[in-house]
Amino acid sequence: MRHRLACLLLLPLLILSAVAAGAADNPRRPFADDVVYFLVTDRFANGDPANDRGGLIGGPAQHGFDPADIGMFQGGDLKGLTARLDYIAGLGATAIWITPPVVNKVVQQYEGGMSAGYHGYWATDFLNVDPHSGSNADFRAFVDAAHARGLKVIMDIVVNHTADIIQYQECRGAGNACPYRSQGDYPGAAYIPVLPSGQQGVKNPAWLNDVRHYHNRGDSSFKGESSLLGDFARLDDLRTEDPVVAEGLIKIYKHWIGTYRIDGLRLDTAKHVNPDFWHRFVPEITTFAQEQGIADFTIFGEVADRNIADLAAQTHLTRLPSVLDFGFFQAAIDTLADGQGSYVWENWLRADILYPDTLNRATLPTFISNHDNGRLAYFIRRTHPQMPADEVQARVMLGHALMFLGRGVPVLYYGDEQGFIGLGDDKQARQPMFATASQQFNTEPRLGPHPVAGGDSFNPAHPLYRATAELAAIRRDHPGLRRGEMVIRHVEEKGGLLAFSRIDRVGGREYLVLVNMDNTPRTLGVPVEASMARWQGVRGACPVEGSAPSAIRVTVPGLDYLVCMRPLA
């Protein structure tokens, strides 16, 4: 009996060992060498219609599924994503960043309507996969299949808040005594927190159900201390300075790393969390991942600020190893959509000095579109509603060129490679890649061979898909374009011609990149590193001989880019 019991106790461990032994190893590759593909799981591919309602009964208000409504679940899931991994790999991506896979509050009622937790940022159960996306086993199968193709998996996480469960009783203190004063057992609370009937144990792990672990100050004004302590649009703000909360959150994400062997984390709303939490979380999580044999574990945060000085200041406070480059995003809009001179890019690069010396600038993720702010194509169309579609497409392609050839790690937002435009930001920019019942998503314009949306959008022959795959191949084949020092060679106050070098001291090469954001061809004499070596074209027609040892004369077609290369010696 004792022997049989021992065998039963060992069985789960043996199964886990067998699964781990059969799984592909985590890709060994520095983050600076990656190309990231970011997607909203619910909007990417529907592999199993049986989970569209998450196993819940009733109508959309109960199960959240309504493909006619852009704010509700559309049906994308982990099985669908796994089936489309070759499509992502074919684009040249080496890492996939997915929205939080955890169980969410299904539907949130708002003034004038309701919206679903399809995006993953309204967590209730932090330890399990949302049934709308599939099962824990589906998540494991996805990670294993990605690793088998050499693709990393970066998981979006939220530590700032949970779903909106806690409700408040208005404080009744005299005069101004209430705001931000102790309310009995609720330190610093402005309101007395109340859990609605039937919601007392909805969160997992169980400690998340204790209202003392939240700030309970009402909605944030996003100014001063309220930026750290207030609820983000009604979402319950965790007291991350509480040791119980900090320890609990670290255990949660150690669980995801240890169980599924993910390769990195994207930290949502990082600037709204007290810096001391990140000072502990980042080193503990990094050390744990390394102990699991994940040597190249990646962490980058969202500091949603387009002012580079403010963005960089947050990195000093939080000590995050990397943050999303919102300054790059703004520079792309300024030049490619709003027509400002190419000098904007010099200002962007010069501001790198504001980041801490401990932050590797080569790992700052750059992007031109995302799920919160919208797509570059939308910003171009907003400024130039009558611009021909082929010009909008060319400008989006130049945005990709700046991402792939400039400093940083390029982050592709799903659908950009299929000509998605969208009608705005947030949920307006979260179109499904598959057929949908939404009239808006089915009729909004797109770029490329199918100018109106509808049906599946996984076309590897799309011009933007091919252009992106070409850029990914160039970046893959030339390490200097991933890690070389970026030096601005030419900018203009009003014109759109930009020239910069990537200096690869290790490989002994200089790459000259010229991006023409004007409609007409431009010819330029560009200063470069001193060398008598001949130039060769990496992409486009580059002159063989320089006009002088420290200069090259180049013509760049309108709305196009060139990449030239020569040895430094």
Task: Write the single-letter amino acid at 323.
Answer: V
Half-sphere exposure of 215 (CA within 13 A, CB side): 28
For residue 354, the SS3 value is: helix
Q: Using CA atoms, how far apart are residues 352 and 539, in angstroms rounded to an integer?
A: 27
Alpha-carbon distance 104 to 423, whole Å? 26
Parallel/antiparallel/unpaired status of strands 192-194 and 167-169: antiparallel
**What residues form DSSP beta bridges with 513?**
500, 563
CB 41 within 8 A of CB 78: yes
Task: Give the Cβ contact number of residue 545 at 10 Å.
Answer: 10
CA Rg value for the chain: 25
- Distance (Å, whole) CA 141 – CA 135: 10
Catalytic (active-site) positions? 268, 302
Instruction: Categorise residue 412: left if φ over 0, alpha if ψ from -120 to 50, beta otherwise.
Output: beta
Residue with tokens 């930290």: 267
Q: Give the E-state strand segments of 73-138 in sequence order.
A: 95-98, 102-104, 107-110, 113-116, 123-129
Residue-wise DSSP of 392-453? HHHHHHHHHHHHHHSSSEEEEETTGGGTB--SSSGGGG---SS----HHHHHSBBSSS--B-
On whether the CB atoms of residues 25 and 147 are closer than 8 A, the answer is yes
For tokens 């160039």, name the residue: 474
